[in-house]
């Protein structure tokens, strides 16, 4: 239950990426980098506001929707919501879809899978539920960092 609401928010944020694909396709090659960075920045501001609002509202939401759950579930949910801050990096990855670049997409997906397995294997036995939440946060930020790195590298021609 701790991750249920943040995952619903994540599903809602996917709509922005889906809606952004036609906009990315319309961007000329000249404006592509600036356009994607600007759209990513705009989405980051929205996501920060959503995460902050959720962190503030989570105790009340849990009291109303899940009155039987402990304070620990609220804290885990609030911490897990921080993992949503990675999401605007996905806008930068739209470049690879537009340019039909499969190698960076595969690199991102393989790194995500490998780092998820590694982080969960290390953090869950060590820290339990909080380890699972921390693993998800670490992996998502690693994914965002990889997307940003590959985005910059692609634009430099490498």
**Residue-level pLDDT at 137:** 92
- Tally the residues of the chain: 158
Q: Give the pLDDT confidence score for residue 158 in this predicted structure.
A: 55
Alpha-carbon distance values, 100 to 25, 94, 105, 110, 132 (Å): 11, 10, 9, 18, 34
Q: What is the pTM of this model?
A: 0.82
What pLDDT score was predicted for residue 14?
Answer: 82
Q: Can you say whether the dihedral through the CA atoms of 121, 126, 132, 137 is positive or negative? A: negative
Return the number of other C-beta atoms located less than 10 Å from residue 141's C-beta: 15
Dist CA 14 CA 40 (whole Å): 13
Low-confidence ranges of the chain (pLDDT < 70): 25, 28-29, 158
- CA pair distance 41, 21, nearest whole angstrom: 16
């Amino acid at each position: 239950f701790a991750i249920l609401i943040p995952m619903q928010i994540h599903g809602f944020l996917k709509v922005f990426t889906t809606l952004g694909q036609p906009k990315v396709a319309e961007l000329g090659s000249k404006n592509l980098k600036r356009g994607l960075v600007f759209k990513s920045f705009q989405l980051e501001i929205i996501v920060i506001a959503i995460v902050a609002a959720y962190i503030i509202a989570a105790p009340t939401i849990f009291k109303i929707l899940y009155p039987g759950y402990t304070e620990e579930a609220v804290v885990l949910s609030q911490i897990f919501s921080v993992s949503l801050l990675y999401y605007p990096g996905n806008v930068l990855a739209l470049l690879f879809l537009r340019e039909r670049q499969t190698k960076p997409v595969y690199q991102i997906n393989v790194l995500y899978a490998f780092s998820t397995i590694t982080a969960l294997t290390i953090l869950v036995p060590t820290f339990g539920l909080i380890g699972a939440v921390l693993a998800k946060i670490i992996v998502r930020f690693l994914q965002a960092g990889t997307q940003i790195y590959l985005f910059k590298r692609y634009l430099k021609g490498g």
